[in-house]
Amino acid sequence: MYNKLLIRQLQKHFGKLDKVPSSYTAIFQAISESYNHYEKNRNMIERSIDLSSNEMLELNRKLKNEAVEVKKHTDNLRKINKELDQFSYVVSHDLKAPLRAIANLSEWIKEDLGDNLSEENKKNLDLLQSRVTRMQSLITGILEYSKIGRKQVASELVNVNDLLREILDFLSASPKFSTTIPPDLPTLKTQKVLLQQVFSNLVSNAIKYNDKEKGQIDIFYTEKEDCYEFSIADNGPGIAPEHHDKVFDIFQTLEAKHKVESTGIGLSIVKKIIEEQGGIIRIDSTKGSGAKFIFTWPKVSK
């Protein structure tokens, strides 16, 4: 039997099927075959179109759901950011106020008692005040850390040579230290305060932890294709490789906190700033042979 579509066409043409000349049977048989074939293909294609349009609908629905999710997340992030702002404010105000009170009250006790204060009491009061000062630096540090990346600072042209000289003059006032700066330092367009914070922290660490009679701080610089690479090398006690990651963690110090006055925030600020810019920082050091902090500063910041 012929294909239904072909039968209809033949009926239209010949009136009745039996009027079709028998000499054509073989040809129509072949045509019918190809009609069948065609129909089969068409059905298949239609089915797959149906299927894919269903899939499309499904995908569309998923996308819409995801858009809702994304919006929810964004709103949530916004809320968290606002809370963080609020938190910084609470930290800066509400924590500093009682701290100031403690600082003042202890000073007045010391002042009012004057000579009546025993040596031991005086020492304890001094200790108390130095801990208050540390707490103050901790609060300031936390605030600084939380501010990175949230406050947009305008870029300006920064002459790295001038910047480094300023920092070194300011920090290494003691004649114990000699420093070298490479002659070919670049002038770059960047957020000055951030680069300054990075250099200041690294240089002041190099000074603070130095244990040699003659301290040495050397700055190195190479220009790479898409970034500048700076290194700050010192001849201090060095850092054992197993501590290289740890020193960047917040509140992490290698020495007991009272031995060298530090909060453990400096290097985490440095790392956060550099990573916000799209650069990286690493340490080249072994225990006992000085430390070299190497960081990249992209030519175009993130």
Partner 1 sequence: MTEKLTTILLIEDDEVDIMTVQRAFGKNKITNPFYVARNGVEALQMLRGENQAKIIPQVILLDINMPKMGGLEFLENLRADEQLKSISVFVLTTSAQESDKMSAFNLNVAGYILKPLSFDSFLEAVAVLKNYWKLCERL
Residues binding partner 1 (CB under 8 A): 89, 92-93, 96-97, 99-101, 103-105, 107-108, 132-133, 136
Q: Give the count of beta carbons closer than 10 Å to the beta carbon of residue 166.
A: 13
State the CB neighbour count (10 A cutoff) for residue 11: 13
3-state secondary structure of 57: helix
Of 140 and 252, which has the nearer Cβ to partner 1? 140
CB of 103 to partner 1, least distance (A): 6
Q: Is the Cβ of residue 103 or residue 294 nearer to partner 1 in the bound state?
A: 103
Cβ proximity of 295 and 248 under 8 Å:
no
- Nearer Cβ to partner 1 (132/250): 132
Q: Which is nearer to partner 1, 38 or 108 (CB)?
A: 108
Whole-angstrom distance, CA of residue 275 vs CA of residue 158: 19
Least distance between partner 1 and beta carbon 261 (Å): 15
In the bound complex, what is the minimum distance in angstroms from residue 82's beta carbon to partner 1? 13
Taking the least distance from each CB to partner 1, the nearer of 112 and 211 is 112
Nearest distance, CB of residue 188 and partner 1, angstroms: 28
- Exposure string over 99-118, b if 16+ CB within 10 A, otherwise e: beeebeebeeebeeeeeebe
Of the two residues 37 and 147, which places its CB atom closer to partner 1 in the complex? Answer: 147
Question: Residue 114 carries which DSSP code?
Answer: G
Contacts 24+ apart (CB under 8 A), 256-259: 257/134
Nearer of residues 51 and 105 to partner 1, judged by Cβ: 105
Closest Cα to residue 33, out of 22, 25, 44?
25
Contact 263, 143 (CB under 8 A): no
**Residue 284, C-beta contacts closer than 8 angstroms, at least 6 positions apart:** 231, 291, 292, 294
Residue 233 Cβ, how far from partner 1 at the closest point, in Å? 35
For residue 199, report the phi and psi dihedrals to the nearest 5 degrees: -60, -45
Cα torsion for 126, 131, 133, 134, to the nearest 10°? 150
For 191, phi then psi, to 5°, come to: -85, 105
- Alpha-carbon distance of 259 to 209, in angstroms, equals 10
Rounded to a whole number of angstroms, the minimum distance from the CB of residue 105 to partner 1 is 6
DSSP state of 182: -
Q: How far is the CB of 302 from partner 1 (least distance, A)?
A: 25
Least separation in angstroms between residue 196's CB and partner 1 is 20
User: Phi, psi (5° rounding) for residue 39?
Assistant: -65, -40
In terms of CB distance, is 100 or 257 closer to partner 1?
Answer: 100
Work out whether strand 281-285 and strand 291-298 pair parallel, antiparallel, or are unpaired.
Answer: antiparallel
